[in-house]
């Protein structure tokens, strides 16, 4: 009952703000839509479409067989968890959560494994960190690389921190499930359709929370927050940027980069905002996890720990990155650019091709060893009957 009253009051406040401050909220909505159209959609949609094709072709099972010796001793997770972990770190929000939910719904992950994996697999991607935050907001790609390394270290540290949690894996039969033979046209159309729905939903969340942040600002909520927290060693502009970033991380990180505080403090606050995600990312993630019984408070705790560990690693290595940032040429373009080196692209491509070759080779061996035979016949009897037929 209390939750219903709260959301009803929030909706009424938002509706009143739309009628009271139409110009400000319209401008905020247009800015969020432009940011989604020029940065988020071009970078996220291809990743979503390609990973949809990979998943339908059985890449998750290939990752499971290849990285089982790594995931089991390191995180106490089955090898198939490497697929959402790897692509979640490479693609960005909300790819890790989306793939984890798909594997759980297909009974390839247990509930305990899904909950533990969600603690550190859903992260901001390198394209967003290096191109948008580093080059676009702070005008230096070095800080984008520092953010990506810190996020990666924070994610791995979070996984090691939650390693003792119990997570019984499913039987190994999940890795050898028979895949449906579907045409490439069906794979492509289904993957593009799912990618469009997901990216459109992300755009809707960005516009909604961008306008809601503007409504709070026009209503004086951020000014009230500044008066209630005067003891914090933060400028009023940075405090307002953090409050906005807890609702929508992209606008908050952009506002933090324009504040007059020390660069170290601004970078640390921006890193926490993008690692934590904010209410907009929470809404996107929890919508994808509708069929995974995970408490929202528990997931928020996961992300808070993740953000703190990323910030701690960044503060320890700040001196190292500062030396390179002073030597680097500042970047003044506000457009998102692919900042990954060609070597990284070739490595990712070779890694994925190796997984596919391993998967195809394993499936081919299974078909050769066990040809069709009468039901109920054990594998050795089937192979023996095949040899007798050849001799005759």
pLDDT digits (tens, 9 = 90+) for 228-281: 887 778 888 888 889 888 988 888 888 888 888 889 999 999 999 999 988 888
Domain hosting residue 153, numbered range: 22-169+181-340
- Once rounded to an integer, what is the mean pLDDT over residues 205-231? 84
Query: Which residues have a Cβ under 8 Å from the Cβ of 111 and sit 6 or more positions away?
Result: 104, 292, 293
Q: Is 15 contained in some domain? A: no
| Rounded Cα gap, residues 167 and 310, in angstroms | 24
Name the more confident of 238 and 332.
Answer: 238
**Helix, strand, or coil here: 345?**
helix
| Rounded Cα gap, residues 272 and 152, in angstroms | 13
Q: Which run of H or of E encompasses 169?
A: none
Phi, psi for residue 317 in degrees, rounded to 5: -105, 10
| Rounded Cα gap, residues 267 and 366, in angstroms | 52
CB 252 within 8 A of CB 242: yes
CB 299 within 8 A of CB 118: yes
Q: How many domains are there within the chain?
A: 1
Least trusted range by pLDDT, from 46-55, 72-81, 196-205: 46-55
pLDDT for the residue numbered 130 = 86
pLDDT for the residue numbered 304 = 93
CB 92 within 8 A of CB 127: yes
pLDDT for the residue numbered 330 = 60
Q: Is 256 contained in some domain? A: yes
| Rounded Cα gap, residues 15 and 25, in angstroms | 11
For the cut 70, the answer to whether the pLDDT of residue 112 exceeds it is yes
22-26, 195-199, 227-231, 333-337, range with greatest mean pLDDT: 22-26
Question: How does residue 56 score in pLDDT terms, banded at 50, 70 and 90?
Answer: confident
How many Cβ atoms from other residues are within 10 Å of residue 313's Cβ? Answer: 20
Least trusted range by pLDDT, from 34-48, 131-145, 180-194, 235-249: 180-194
Q: Is 93 contained in some domain? A: yes
- Once rounded to an integer, what is the mean pLDDT over residues 100-113? 86
pLDDT digits (tens, 9 = 90+) for 91-103: 788 888 888 988 8
| Rounded Cα gap, residues 10 and 14, in angstroms | 6
Q: What is the pTM of this model?
A: 0.76
Q: Is 380 contained in some domain? A: no
Give the ranges where the chain is alpha helix by DSSP (H).
2-20, 22-35, 41-56, 59-75, 82-91, 95-105, 111-118, 126, 141-161, 184-219, 221-228, 236-245, 249-256, 263-276, 278-288, 296-316, 318-327, 342-369, 379-391
Q: Is 355 contained in some domain? A: no
Degrees to nearest 5, angle at CA 94 with 311 and 80: 95
- Which of 213-223 are b and which e, b meaning 16 or more Cβ less than 10 Å from the residue's Cβ? bbbbbbeeebe
pLDDT for the residue numbered 178 = 44
Q: Is 292 contained in some domain? A: yes
Query: Which residues have a Cβ under 8 Å from the Cβ of 228 and sit 6 or more positions away?
Result: none
DSSP secondary-structure letter at 247? T
Give the per-residue SS3 of 67-99.
HHHHHHHHHCCCHHHHHHHHHHHHHCCCHHHHH
Query: Which residues have a Cβ under 8 Å from the Cβ of 362 and sit 6 or more positions away?
Result: 62, 65
CA 315 to chain centre: 23
CB 248 within 8 A of CB 209: yes
For the cut 60, the answer to whether the pLDDT of residue 355 exceeds it is no
What is 259-289 written as a DSSP string? SSS-HHHHHHHHHHHHHH-HHHHHHHHHHHT
Name the more confident of 354 and 81.
Answer: 81
Question: How does residue 171 score in pLDDT terms, banded at 50, 70 and 90?
Answer: low
- Once rounded to an integer, what is the mean pLDDT over residues 180-194? 73
Phi, psi for residue 107 in degrees, rounded to 5: 60, 40
Q: Is 98 contained in some domain? A: yes
pLDDT for the residue numbered 135 = 83
Query: Which residues have a Cβ under 8 Å from the Cβ of 359 and sit 6 or more positions away?
Result: 57, 58, 59, 61, 62, 65
C-alpha distances (whole Å) from 200 to each of 195, 196, 203, 205, 337 are 8, 6, 5, 9, 21
Q: Is 74 contained in some domain? A: yes
The reply to whether omega before 175 is within 30° of 0 (cis) is no
């Amino acid at each position: 009952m209390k939750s219903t009253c709260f959301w009803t009051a929030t909706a009424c406040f938002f509706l009143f703000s739309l009628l009271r401050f139409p110009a400000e909220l319209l401008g905020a909505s247009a800015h969020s839509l432009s940011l989604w159209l020029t940065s988020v959609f071009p970078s996220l949609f291809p990743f979503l479409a390609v990973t949809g094709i990979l998943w339908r072709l059985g890449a998750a099972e290939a990752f499971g067989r290849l990285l089982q010796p790594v995931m089991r001793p390191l995180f106490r997770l089955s090898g198939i968890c490497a697929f959402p972990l790897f692509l979640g770190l490479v693609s960005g929000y909300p790819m890790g959560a989306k793939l984890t939910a798909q594997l759980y719904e297909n009974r390839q992950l247990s509930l305990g494994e899904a909950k533990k994996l969600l603690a550190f697999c859903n992260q901001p991607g390198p394209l967003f960190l290096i191109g948008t935050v580093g080059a676009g907001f702070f005008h230096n790609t070095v800080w984008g690389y520092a953010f990506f390394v810190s996020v990666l270290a924070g994610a791995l540290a979070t996984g090691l921190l939650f390693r003792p949690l119990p997570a019984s894996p499913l039987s190994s039969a999940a890795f050898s499930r028979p895949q449906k033979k579907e045409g490439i046209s069906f794979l492509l159309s289904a993957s593009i359709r799912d990618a469009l729905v997901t990216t459109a939903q992300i755009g809707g969340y960005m516009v909604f929370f961008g306008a809601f942040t503007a409504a709070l600002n026009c209503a004086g909520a951020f000014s009230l927050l500044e008066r209630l927290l005067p003891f914090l060693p933060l400028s009023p502009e940075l405090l307002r940027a953090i409050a906005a970033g807890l609702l929508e991380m992209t606008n908050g990180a952009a506002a933090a980069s324009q504040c007059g505080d020390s660069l170290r403090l601004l970078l640390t606050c921006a890193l926490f905002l993008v690692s934590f995600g904010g209410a907009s990312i929470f809404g996107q993630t929890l919508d994808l996890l509708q069929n995974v019984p995970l408490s929202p408070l528990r997931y928020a705790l996961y992300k808070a720990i993740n953000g703190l560990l990323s910030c701690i690693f960044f503060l320890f290595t700040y001196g190292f990155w500062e030396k390179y940032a002073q030597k680097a040429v500042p970047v003044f373009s506000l457009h998102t650019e692919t900042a990954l080196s060609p070597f990284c692209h070739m490595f990712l491509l070779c890694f994925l091709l190796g997984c596919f070759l391993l998967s195809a080779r394993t499936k081919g061996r299974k078909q050769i060893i066990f040809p069709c035979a009468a039901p109920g016949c054990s594998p050795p009897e089937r192979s023996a009957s095949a040899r007798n037929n050849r001799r005759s």
